[in-house]
Amino acid sequence: MSAKHLSRIGLAGNCLKTFQRSILRGLSSVSVKGRSCLTLKDFSPREIQKILWVSADLKERIKREKQHVPLLRGKSAALIFEKRSTRTRMSTETGLALLGGHPCFLAPQDIHLGVNETCADTARVLSGMCDLVLARVQRHATLEELQKASSVPVVNGLSDLYHPIQILADFLTLQEHYGSLAGLTLCWIGDGNNVLHSFMMTAPKLGVHLKIATPKGYEPNQSIVQEAEQLARKHGSQLWLTQDPTAAARDSDVLVTDTWVSMGQEDEKEKRLRDFRGFRVSAQMTGTARPDWTFLHCLPRKKEEVDDEVFYSPRSLVFPEAENRKWTIMGLMASLLTDYQPQTPVPKF
């Protein structure tokens, strides 16, 4: 990889192993009960690991062992959606129901939020009626306003800035596939968007190296880049930023992309399709990745950002990744609302 194209921050090495050992020590005592989850930036490595452990445990107990685990019996959640959704809505509704709870879906036309009631008043009212609020919003500030006035946990179901619950599913999927996370190299090819921002706030904490290729003018948010650089230094992982997708793909374990036109950017579609030329994840790129490469995409997928040959390849993890949206939102809700301790062994992270 050309030094000309890439900036390298942080050093890998023995400190990764030390870091790995330290986060596994005492994971049982870690609790995030009562917290909100607007961004994984607010969560420590051990807290993220604990949520992933709870998620893996629920998957094992419910899916494989067919156990009934009514952890959230009597609890309900308000699900506010200002934008479309298939996975987030379905995983949260079915996941909460599976744990014995009751989801209430609130579409923009169903709720007064932002029309004739303030976020703060909506949050106060919902806090008196349910145990958790999940919101998919146009502006991240809406989540912050909801959280400020809410006495129950608020979960970000996607904002313009972050998509934390997607990234929990992605790391559970990679953990299952590779058996551990620390030391993997994840390569993002595409837009500097909400999903990438969440990777940047999480990967360094899990010892995962990040190579990021975005077209000129579509780089990730500068303050998030600075935070990620600090995290990479602190946790001894590497962070690379480039405008060369081919160079980024080389020697990576995981290739990841997302739509080039996020919800709300539909007017920019034509220009974006032009500007992102050369950023389609291609079979040729996978040929330069590590032999056991995998591919992730949060979905929905549009044709332009990835070759069918990659998307439907046996190495593509996109459908297990989508299913894991369910187990991880269940793990997150159980972690925010209860003192649940997993009954299965800690996975290797």
Applying CB under 6 A, the residues found at the interface with ligand CP are 85-88, 158, 166, 298-299
Residue of this chain nearest to ligand NVA (CB atom): 262
- The torsion angle over the Cα atoms of residues 305, 310, 311 and 314, rounded to 10 degrees, is -170
State the Cα–Cα distance between residues 340 and 105, nearest whole angstrom: 25
Closer to ligand CP at the Cβ: 130 or 298? Answer: 298
- Residue 29's CB is within 10 A of a number of other CB atoms, namely 9
86 binds, among ligand NVA, ligand CP, none (CB under 5 to 8 A by kind): ligand CP
Looking at 37, 130, 187, 298, which residue is catalytic? 298
CB of 43 to ligand CP, least distance (A): 19
Where along the sequence are the contacts to ligand NVA (CB under 6 A)? Answer: 158, 193-195, 258-259, 262-263, 298
Which bin fits 233, alpha (ψ -120 to 50), beta or left (φ > 0)? alpha
Closer to ligand CP at the Cβ: 46 or 136? Answer: 136
147 binds, among ligand CP, ligand NVA, none (CB under 5 to 8 A by kind): none
Residues 112, 114, 118, 121: is their CA dihedral positive or negative?
positive
159 binds, among ligand NVA, ligand CP, none (CB under 5 to 8 A by kind): none
Which bin fits 282, alpha (ψ -120 to 50), beta or left (φ > 0)? beta
Closer to ligand CP at the Cβ: 9 or 254? Answer: 254
Q: Which tokens go with 23?
A: 């986060």
298 assigned to active site: yes
Closer to ligand NVA at the Cβ: 131 or 305? Answer: 305
Length of the chain: 349
State the Cα–Cα distance between residues 119 and 299, nearest whole angstrom: 29
CB of 298 to ligand NVA, least distance (A): 5
Closer to ligand CP at the Cβ: 15 or 299? Answer: 299
CB of 301 to ligand NVA, least distance (A): 10
243 binds, among ligand CP, ligand NVA, none (CB under 5 to 8 A by kind): none
State the Cα–Cα distance between residues 136 and 185, nearest whole angstrom: 29
Closer to ligand CP at the Cβ: 86 or 226? Answer: 86
Which residues neighbour 119 within 8 Å (Cβ) at sequence distance 6 or greater? 113, 142, 145, 146, 149
258 binds, among ligand CP, ligand NVA, none (CB under 5 to 8 A by kind): ligand NVA
Q: Which tokens go with 134?
A: 């999940």
CB of 190 to ligand CP, least distance (A): 14
- Residue 298's CB is within 10 A of a number of other CB atoms, namely 24
194 binds, among ligand NVA, ligand CP, none (CB under 5 to 8 A by kind): ligand NVA
| C-beta separation of 79 from 105 below 8 A | yes
CB of 274 to ligand CP, least distance (A): 25
Q: Which tokens go with 277?
A: 């030329």
State the Cα–Cα distance between residues 38 and 65, nearest whole angstrom: 32
Q: Which tokens go with 212?
A: 């990021």
Question: What is the set of active-site residues?
Answer: 298
